[in-house]
Structure 1
Amino acid sequence: MQVDRALRLGATTTALVTPFCEGTVDLSALERLVERQIHGGVDGLAVCTPTGEGPTLTRSERAAIIVTCVQAAGGRVPVIAATGTNATASTIALTRDAEELGAAAALVTLPYYSKPSQKGIAGHFAQLASATSLPLIVENNPLRTAIDMTLSTLKALADIPSVIGFLLADGSAAALAMPPEWRQRFLLLSDSDATALPFLSTGGSGVISAGANLCPRLYASLQQAARGGNLPAARRLEDRLAPLTAALGADGDPAAIKYALQTLRLIDPEVRLPLLAVDANEKQSLSQAMLYASGARNSYLSI
């Protein structure tokens, strides 16, 4: 299957946080976040990811989040739903939900914790593809799942017609083994803001960004500059955002993002266990990084 051009996410897709208020999903705040992201120029939204605390969400909460984001986006950007679990049956159920609720594609991680064989990984995705017609983006993040794809497994998944792309962790075997010709055939996405620019320069399609929750305009502008061939501008933006990217951590800590969004008066900083709120030192680092990214203005609402 050639990648559907309507599903080309562009360079910057935000791994959107899930706002909570007194233990429940704050759908009104979520709508505001969606609007801010689109106004900031991002190309897509990924919901129910680890950055969105997907593992803590119930099936009904996931459904409400997808519906809210799809309706708020109104077709202006695609909404991608993370639906992968470590069980094939539940992955199928969540992916079917996402399809029925209007998601443009499903982001599906390799099954975690159970450490399936390479044949088991291939079987997992083959069965998922046979159970739903939703386009699939395969996520390969060995640090989270404790497994990595071999080249033969990568090729097996690439032969599944509904697989349209891969989200690749920096340094994973799959990322290193990706055949060059696939850069035209599939969406190739990075999961790291820190390495998104070099990933794009070597033929990647874009990034699923945690940092864009805070500064959608800057992160989107960085990728747009790189795609347009203006590498000096892209590197300046990369340097400007480097302290913030570092402060958020390699995985885009939801607690850190939510604290920063609270300082913008956008959401409550509440996270669900096992995550905890950021401490005083982290708050100071985040505040300094946000001000640096904003150019040391008193307000960074526009970044």
Structure 2
Amino acid sequence: MEFDMARLGGVFTALVTPFRGGAVDIEAFEALVERQMEAGVTGLVPLGTTGEAPTLSTAEAEDLIARTVRLSAGRAFVLAGVGTNDTARTVEKARRAEQLGADGCLVITPYYNRPTQEGLFGHFSTVAAVTGLPLMLYSVPARAGVEIAPETAARLEDRCQNIVAIKEAGGSAARVSTLRRRCQRLAIHCGDDGLTLAFLSLGAVGVTSVLSNYVPEAVCEMVAAWQRGDAPAALAWHDYLLPLAEAMFIETSPAPVKEALAIQGLASPELRLPLAPLTRESRARLRLELDRFAASAAPAALTKKPLSNRIPLALNG
């Protein structure tokens, strides 16, 4: 059956993995997923970079996929992160994600190895061959040391019908235009919150967002405004959210967004090594931005309903 590309549109949240006392905090994770559902996100991405996937055991990872599938109950597209720097392990993870009920897989470029474009082509095409799930390629050179060339993306979409999208996180809006020229059908997702509106204006269909962990309703409002053709409203939301989006990356993600969630009382700021907690200076800078954001007026006149109970306005602690 042909895949419905419309399912890739909108806001996909790159879910954090909450920890408490060294273990996955299941209660907090389930509450965060439900909060995303209530906000109206169209996709959930467990086990991505934001979810600290490389630090999770196989049992933990599989449990989080299964829980996300169960909790979403078809209300959102579940895009499970399965990428590693070992093709054989990635194949195993993709097969298991399909067995667990995921709707698709997010496959990052192999990190550390720094493969050539031919190596990338072999890696992604091998993974695509072992699963019937739709795949989203993930190009993030700042983390992986290599990016997917537009020519390689075009080869992959030509060879593999279930490679349907690419998450572009190279920090360049110009790449959207290049990818659209080279590729006939790949849906493009923005992987940088501060560039979401720019990407959408150039033809991207959605965003895989870190920021939506913290303010899912607001990110959804911005994307929805663009989708309904209200560019002024989308720009107002962009201006409102941009300083907050930038604050989420004052240190390596997901440390800032976990700190922000902790301030909301939604999850612990705990990370797993080799990630470390925010420095005192960064914590103070983040808190300053969160306070500024909480005190600022949302573009409420542009929304379908008031946001007073949907965006955190009181930061305690």
Aligned pairs (5 A) from 1:153-232: 153-159=152-158, 160-169=160-169, 170-171=171-172, 175-180=176-181, 182=183, 185-232=185-232
C-alpha distance in structure 2 between counterparts of 1:291 and 1:301, whole Å: 17
* CA apart distance, 1:301: 6.4
C-alpha distance in structure 1 between counterparts of 2:141 and 2:255, whole Å: 22
Instruction: Write the deviation string for residues 104-149 of structure 1: whole angstroms up to 9, x where unpaired.
Output: 1000011111121221111111211121111110111121221123
C-alpha distance in structure 2 between counterparts of 1:229 and 1:293, whole Å: 26
* CA apart distance, 1:174: 5.6
Determine whether 1:302 maps to 2:303: no
Determine whether 1:98 maps to 2:106: no
Moved more, 75-84 or 115-124: 115-124
Per the normalisation by structure 2, the TM-score is 0.88
Alignment check: 8 A CA contact 1:244 1:293 kept: yes
Q: Which residue of 1 aligns with 2:256?
A: 256
CA-atom RMSD in angstroms: 2.2
Q: Which residue of 2 aligns with 1:62?
A: 61
Instruction: Write the deviation string for residues 183-224 of structure 1: whole angstroms up to 9, x where unpaired.
Output: 7x2321010011110100111111100000000000110111
Instruction: Write the deviation string for residues 23-64 of structure 1: whole angstroms up to 9, x where unpaired.
Output: 111111111001111111211111111111111111111001
* CA apart distance, 1:173: 8.4
Listed as ranges, the gaps of 5+ residues in structure 1 are none
Give, as a single letter, the amino acid of the residue that structure 2 aligns with 1:63. E
Q: Which residue of 2 aligns with 1:86?
A: 85
Task: Label 1:251 to 1:116 Cα distance change in 2 as closer, same or farther (>3 A).
Answer: farther
C-alpha distance in structure 2 between counterparts of 1:151 and 1:263, whole Å: 40
Q: Which residue of 2 aligns with 1:270?
A: 270
C-alpha distance in structure 2 between counterparts of 1:300 and 1:288, whole Å: 20
SS of 2:136's equivalent in the other structure is strand
C-alpha distance in structure 2 between counterparts of 1:10 and 1:64, whole Å: 26
Q: Which residue of 1 aligns with 2:122?
A: 123
Per the normalisation by structure 1, the TM-score is 0.92
* CA apart distance, 1:283: 2.4
Alignment check: 8 A CA contact 1:30 1:69 kept: no
C-alpha distance in structure 1 between counterparts of 2:198 and 2:252, whole Å: 19
Alignment check: 8 A CA contact 2:176 2:199 kept: no
Q: Which residue of 2 aligns with 1:18?
A: 17
C-alpha distance in structure 1 between counterparts of 2:120 and 2:225, whole Å: 37
Alignment check: 8 A CA contact 2:154 2:182 kept: no
Determine whether 1:72 maps to 2:71: yes
Q: Provide the aligned length of Structure 1 versus Structure 2.
A: 300
Identity score, percent? 37
* CA apart distance, 1:268: 1.2
Give, as a single letter, the amino acid of the residue that structure 2 aligns with 1:194. G
* CA apart distance, 1:167: 0.7
C-alpha distance in structure 1 between counterparts of 2:191 and 2:74, whole Å: 24
Instruction: Write the deviation string for residues 238-290 of structure 1: whole angstroms up to 9, x where unpaired.
Output: 11112211111178711111111111111111100111112233223223322
C-alpha distance in structure 2 between counterparts of 1:165 and 1:190, whole Å: 11
Alignment check: 8 A CA contact 1:108 1:139 kept: yes
C-alpha distance in structure 2 between counterparts of 1:137 and 1:193, whole Å: 18
Give, as a single letter, the amino acid of the residue that structure 2 aligns with 1:83. V
Instruction: Write the deviation string for residues 72-113 of structure 1: whole angstroms up to 9, x where unpaired.
Output: 111111111111111110000111111111111000011111
Q: Which residue of 1 aligns with 2:28?
A: 29
C-alpha distance in structure 2 between counterparts of 1:85 and 1:172, whole Å: 26
Give, as a single letter, the amino acid of the residue that structure 1 aligns with 2:16. V
Instruction: Write the deviation string for residues 155-181 of structure 1: whole angstroms up to 9, x where unpaired.
Output: 111111110101112328864521348
Give, as a single letter, the amino acid of the residue that structure 2 aligns with 1:54. A
Give, as a single letter, the amino acid of the residue that structure 1 aligns with 2:118. K
Listed as ranges, the gaps of 5+ residues in structure 2 are 298-306, 312-317
SS of 2:268's equivalent in the other structure is coil
Q: Which residue of 1 aligns with 2:238?
A: 238
C-alpha distance in structure 2 between counterparts of 1:295 and 1:34, whole Å: 26
Give, as a single letter, the amino acid of the residue that structure 1 aligns with 2:88. A
C-alpha distance in structure 2 between counterparts of 1:182 and 1:223, whole Å: 23
Alignment check: 8 A CA contact 2:150 2:183 kept: no
SS of 2:91's equivalent in the other structure is helix
* CA apart distance, 1:150: 2.7
C-alpha distance in structure 2 between counterparts of 1:43 and 1:285, whole Å: 31
Alignment check: 8 A CA contact 1:13 1:42 kept: yes
Alignment check: 8 A CA contact 2:176 2:202 kept: no
